Amino acid sequence: MADKNRFLEKAQKNMPVLHYRDIVPDITEFTAESGDSILLDLGEHAVGHFSFSFDRVNIFVDAPVRLKIKFGEDMREIEDDFSLYHGVLSSTWLQEETIHLDFPQKMTMPRRYACRYIKITVEKANRLIKLYGFSFRSSTSADVSVLKKADTTDEMLGKIDIVSTNTLKECMQTFFEDGPKRDRRLWIGDLRLEALTNYYTFNNLEIVRRCLYLFAAGDCNALGFLPSFVYDTPYYHSGETFIEDYVLLYVVTVCDYYEHTGDDEVLCDLLPLCKSQLDSFRATLDENLITTKQNGWFAFIDWCPGLEILTALQGVYLYTLDRFAGLLEKIGDEDYKKYSCFLEEVRFSCKKHLYNEKKKIFVNDADNNQLSVHSQVWMILGGAVDGEDAKEILLKTLADENAKQPCTPYMHHYVIEAMMKLGMKNEAVVYLKKYWGGMIELGADTFWEAYIPDEPDFSPYNDRMINSLCHAWSCTPSYFIRKYKIS
């Protein structure tokens, strides 16, 4: 409890400042009667509060006016009929309001929205009315004045970089949100990728520290694992979901932060927690040092339907052990021997139990012999295979129609990370341009939560309408472009 409070205090101390900007659409005034509608285009994706004024034209309003106001991250969302929504997440995320205005007034809508387009329909007005003074007050904790243009002459990469940094900017509020439309909370997997990209763009260190402490203050489950998300609005609440790979990636996020900042105070605060996460994970291993399915919680890896995750999860574990042992060695912590030894043992057992010698690929019984890009990528990142063998495995699986392929920018990030690790910079650039460039071709202002090029209606939640079109984990092209000096 003492630690929890101390961490929450530190999180509070690192509250980032929000920067506000008023965006005024081109249309200034709209005269309307029942049934009329107007479409406002902010010209960019924005997160914030919408306001407008309403008055009579000649005869006084006579009776309350009913407006339907819809906010869309893209035009498809504006055109969608939300009454047909049949997804698994709550329809209350869909951004549409019906409001009644009793008399002429300035209306500032109380809820925050994420949108580029706003459609106002006058559902019922007994007299001619006018709507005017449209304004959208946007917010972000990203300081855009520090952002430098990416050093690239490639037109598509330039566009991708702008859309990536916009995506990150929109998700940077008082903490790193996963998506400003939905779920509007702090998830570990998203945090890691946002923080990485932030180091190379806005470099706001406060927000990273704040997020690390918000998790450190979380309530662990019976096995000692951190929650995989926390809420912080309007007050702090530790999430009830526990995701195995996210627990590990928290440790990686601490390693990334220390690598970037050398901040001993934060490291000293969080080191015991990192050790406990790895130690708790170790308790899930069987006699062959392979992780086992846990009751009541799961691994995420990707939103790929029917994906078997065990090999990939084991790879995330290797990757984390590797990064953590490296960190401990660097700071002279004696425990580094323990984690490095363990890393070697687990790597060895992965090769023995998860690798198929005949097929020369990671396919095994533990994953019902399912072939996936995910397993190969994480085993490569975990160092279970290296060099030419690893390249071959990766390229072969990416080209295999029968293999499970990534469905989200989140997993595509790790494909590129694996390519970079193997020195496949050229392949990585082609891959990045093709995937993220595909969203650009489809008109993306910000990058999406899920995208499968040949399946425009793909949704992890059974209905595309609920997908987030500005999603934190898709912002990493800017990280790759800047870190690897892709020009």
Site residues (CB under 6 A) for ligand RAM?
178, 183, 187, 189-190, 300, 449, 473
Nearer to ligand RAM, 320 or 349 (CB): 320
Cβ–Cβ < 8 Å for 282, 342: yes
What is the nearest approach in angstroms of ligand RAM to the Cβ of residue 447? 12
What is the nearest approach in angstroms of ligand RAM to the Cβ of residue 183? 5
Q: How far apart are CA 129 and CA 57, in angstroms?
A: 5
113 burial (CB, 10 Å; 0-12 / 13-18 / 19+) is: buried
What is the nearest approach in angstroms of ligand RAM to the Cβ of residue 378? 16
Nearer to ligand RAM, 183 or 417 (CB): 183
DSSP 486: -
Nearer to ligand RAM, 131 or 248 (CB): 248
**Bridge partner list, 140:** 19
Distances, alpha carbon 375 to alpha carbons 91, 313, 345, 396, 411, in Å: 34, 8, 19, 13, 11
Nearer to ligand RAM, 256 or 269 (CB): 256
Nearer to ligand RAM, 10 or 112 (CB): 112
What is the nearest approach in angstroms of ligand RAM to the Cβ of residue 211? 13
What is the nearest approach in angstroms of ligand RAM to the Cβ of residue 465? 15
Nearer to ligand RAM, 72 or 239 (CB): 239
| CA angle at 410 for the pair 387 and 391, rounded to the nearest 5° | 15
Nearer to ligand RAM, 369 or 462 (CB): 462
What is the nearest approach in angstroms of ligand RAM to the Cβ of residue 301? 10
Nearer to ligand RAM, 242 or 300 (CB): 300
Nearer to ligand RAM, 48 or 189 (CB): 189
Which amino acid belongs to residue 315?
G
User: The tokens of 352 are what?
Assistant: 């023995």
Q: How far apart are CA 382 and CA 346, in angstroms?
A: 10
Alpha carbon 123 to its chain centroid, in Å, reads: 36
Torsion of CA 177, 183, 186, 190, to 10 degrees: -70
DSSP 298: B
Cβ–Cβ < 8 Å for 382, 314: yes
Q: Which residue has the tokens 């069987």?
A: 286
Nearer to ligand RAM, 110 or 305 (CB): 305
What is the nearest approach in angstroms of ligand RAM to the Cβ of residue 353? 27
- DSSP H/E element including 270: helix 264-282
Helix 264-282 and helix 205-216, axial crossing angle in degrees, nearest 10:
40
How many residues comprise the chain? 487
Percent helix, percent strand, percent coil in the chain, to nearest 5: 45, 20, 40
- DSSP H/E element including 117: strand 113-124
Q: Which residue has the tokens 């809420």?
A: 231
What is the nearest approach in angstroms of ligand RAM to the Cβ of residue 338? 30
User: The tokens of 231 are what?
Assistant: 């809420």
Q: How far apart are CA 41 and CA 36, in angstroms?
A: 17
What is the nearest approach in angstroms of ligand RAM to the Cβ of residue 364? 25
Q: How far apart are CA 119 and CA 412, in angstroms?
A: 34
What is the nearest approach in angstroms of ligand RAM to the Cβ of residue 187? 4
Query: 320, 209, 215, 216: which is closest to 260 by C-alpha?
Result: 209
Cβ count near 272 (within 10 Å): 11
What is the nearest approach in angstroms of ligand RAM to the Cβ of residue 298? 10
Nearer to ligand RAM, 239 or 477 (CB): 239
What is the nearest approach in angstroms of ligand RAM to the Cβ of residue 305? 14
